[in-house]
Structure 1
C-alpha cells in the first residue's frame, strides 16, 4: 500500500493494520496546572469569555492570581491602590467594572436632596499613561469628595500638574493611550472614566501645547480626561479629569459624583464599545455646538430687541422735549 492510501485510512480512523486509531485527547485530559499556565497568557476579555464555556474552564478562569496579574499588567497603578474589593470578586470584579466602557444611562442621574449622604466620601483615581506600549506615567490620586468646597466647585481631579515630566521620545498622539479608573473605596465599585485612545487632538496656538482628550460620554455629561504636552520636546505638562455638561459648562462636584455613582452601578458596554463611545462623543460635540449656536442666536435677538426698545424710548424722549 502506498503512502497516500495509508494516509486515507489513518484519516478515516483505521490504522494500516486494521485497528482503530486512538481518539484525539480532549481538554479534560490536559492537567489542570498546564491549563492554568495556558490561561495566564490570555488577555482579560478572552479569559472572561472562556470562563463562560464550561464549568471546568469557569473554575480555572476564576483564579485570583491570574486576574491580579492581568490587572497589574494593564494598570500598573492598581498595585498602589488599597485592595478594597478583596471582599467581593477580587481583581476579577475590578476588571469587570473597569475594562468595559460604561453604558449611557437611560435617565439623568439624580442628586440626593439631603446633601451628599449617598455620594462617596472618597474617590480613588488609578491613572496610567502609555506611549508606544511603554508606561510613561503611573499614579494614584486620593480625593476627598466630602468637603463643601469640592461639592460646590466644578468637578476636577489632577493627576499631574505644574511639575510635569519628559517622555523618553517625542509624544505622538496616535501612540498615546490613557487609562483613568475611578474607584469608590466604600463600595469597591469602579468605572472606566477615559477612552483608551484620544477622541480629539487640539493645539494651543499661543503656547504650542497639544491637548489630547480621552472623553467618555454619560448621557448629557462627559467625563473629559485630558493630557497636555509639548509635542516637540515630549514634555507632558498636565493630566486632568473634568466633567462637562451638555452646554459646554463645568459640572459641580456634587452633580459629577452623582453621575459617576450612577455609572458605577449601571450597565457596561460589550463588543464594539470603543467605536460606540467615539460616536457618542461626536454626537455630544455636535449637540453642544448646536446649543451654543442657538444660544448665540437667542442672545442676538434679545440684544436687537433691547436695542430697539432703547431706541424707541430715546426717540420718545426727544419727541417729548420737542413738543414740551
Structure 2
C-alpha cells in the first residue's frame, strides 16, 4: 500500500449510503499492521495526516522493524550505543547527505566537534541475500587514527564466499550499506551508495573493486569511498573497507576525515528521492574533477620544466660566449 492510497483514504475515503467512514475507524492493531507495510518515507508522511495516525506512525516497534529490514546489523547496535532511537536513525541514515560547502569555503558552517568514537553498521548483500552484517567500533580519538589515513575495515577474516549463493560472487550483484554513527550525539550518516557507482578491475591481481562512494561537499570536497574487493579467480570477497579521498585522489588523514564526517552528520539530508542515481552522477563529476586537476598539474609541471630547461640553456650559452670573448 503506497502513500497515495493512504492519502486518498484520509480523512473520508469510504462512503457507504451517505455514511462516511474514515481510515481511523479501523481497529488500531489493523492500522498498525497496514502501516508496517509502508516504506520509511511514506510512513513519515502518514504521520503528518492526523493526530491519530501520528501516534501509530511514530510507534517505536514499527520503526525498529523497518530499520532491521533495511539494516540487519542494527540489531547489534544496542551493546555499542546503549539505546537506539530507530526513527531518528532512519531519518539520518536513509537519505543521502546534501551538498554542503567544502571545509575551506568562507560560507562553511562552524566546524563540528570531532567524534571520539565511530560506530559502523555494515550490511552486504549479494543477489538480494544478506552475506555480511556486523558492527565495527573505531577509537577515533587515538593519535594513530588521527594521524594515519582515514580507513575502517569491516572484515575480520581474510576473505569469504557467499554461504547461500549458488555461483561465485559477482560485483554487479553486490549491494552495500555502510552507516556511520556518533555515539556521543546519536547522529548517523549514510556513508555508501546502495548500488555500486563504479567497478574497477585490477589486472595485475585479478581483483575487481566495486565502489559505493558518497561525495561530500561541492567542488574541492571529499568522497567517502566504501569499497568491496572481489577476487574473481576464486569468487570470494577479500575486503570491505571505508576510506576518505580528497579532490586530488589522495587519502585524507583521520583528523580531516572525521571533520568531514562530523560536518555531514550535522548538515541537512537530501529529500524527495532515494538518490541512487544522484550518488552516481556526483561521483562521476568527482572523478572528472580529479582528472581535470591532474591534467592541469601535468601541464603546469611541463611548462615549469620547459622554463627551467630554457633558463639552463641560456646560462650555458652565456657561459660559452663569455669563454669565447675572453
TM-score, normalised via structure 1 length: 0.86
Displacement of 1:187 after TM fit? Answer: 0.7
Indicate which of 281, 291, 294 corresponds to 1:292: 294
Indicate which of 61, 83, 103 corresponds to 1:86: 83
Equivalent pair of 1:97/1:191 in contact (CA under 8 Å): yes
Indicate which of 94, 118, 137 corresponds to 1:99: 94
Equivalent pair of 2:171/2:209 in contact (CA under 8 Å): no
Aligned position for 1:36: 32
CA offset digits 1:170-222 (Å, max 9, x no partner): 22333211000000011110000000000001100111111110010011111
Distance, in Å, in 1 between the alignment partners of 2:50 and 2:281 is: 35
Aligned position for 1:130: 125
Aligned position for 2:245: 244
Equivalent pair of 1:170/1:232 in contact (CA under 8 Å): no
Q: Map of 1:136-147 to 2, 5 A cutoff?
A: 136-147=131-142
Instruction: State the 4+ residue runs in structure 1 displaced beyond 6 angstroms.
Output: none
SS of aligned partner of 1:174: helix
Unaligned runs of 5+ in 2: 1-15, 106-110
CA offset digits 1:134-177 (Å, max 9, x no partner): 10111211111111221122111111276110123322333211
TM-score, normalised via structure 2 length: 0.85
Q: Map of 1:53-202 to 2, 5 A cutoff?
A: 53-82=49-78, 84=81, 86=83, 90-108=85-103, 118-160=113-155, 163-167=158-162, 168=165, 169-202=167-200
Equivalent pair of 1:85/1:94 in contact (CA under 8 Å): no
Structure 2 vs 1, CA of residues 193 and 128 (structure 1 numbering), >3 Å: closer, same or farther? same
Aligned position for 2:225: 224
Structure 2 vs 1, CA of residues 233 and 52 (structure 1 numbering), >3 Å: closer, same or farther? farther
Displacement of 1:233 after TM fit? Answer: 3.2
Equivalent pair of 1:109/1:258 in contact (CA under 8 Å): no
Equivalent pair of 1:75/1:128 in contact (CA under 8 Å): yes
Distance, in Å, in 1 between the alignment partners of 2:48 and 2:287 is: 38
Displacement of 1:323 after TM fit? Answer: 4.3
Displacement of 1:281 after TM fit? Answer: 1.3
Equivalent pair of 1:199/1:213 in contact (CA under 8 Å): yes
Distance, in Å, in 1 between the alignment partners of 2:40 and 2:235 is: 31
CA offset digits 1:31-69 (Å, max 9, x no partner): 001111121222222212221222221110111111111
Equivalent pair of 1:109/1:259 in contact (CA under 8 Å): no
Q: What do you get for the CA RMSD once the two structures are aligned?
A: 2.1
Distance, in Å, in 1 between the alignment partners of 2:309 and 2:128 is: 59
Structure 2 vs 1, CA of residues 162 and 26 (structure 1 numbering), >3 Å: closer, same or farther? closer
How many residue pairs align between the two structures?
298
Q: Map of 1:279-318 to 2, 5 A cutoff?
A: 279-318=281-320
Equivalent pair of 2:73/2:122 in contact (CA under 8 Å): yes
Aligned position for 1:6: none
SS of aligned partner of 2:31: helix
Equivalent pair of 1:223/1:241 in contact (CA under 8 Å): yes
Equivalent pair of 1:161/1:237 in contact (CA under 8 Å): no
Distance, in Å, in 1 between the alignment partners of 2:288 and 2:169 is: 28
Deviates more, 1:34-43 or 1:313-322: 313-322
Unaligned runs of 5+ in 1: 1-19, 111-115
Aligned position for 1:206: 204
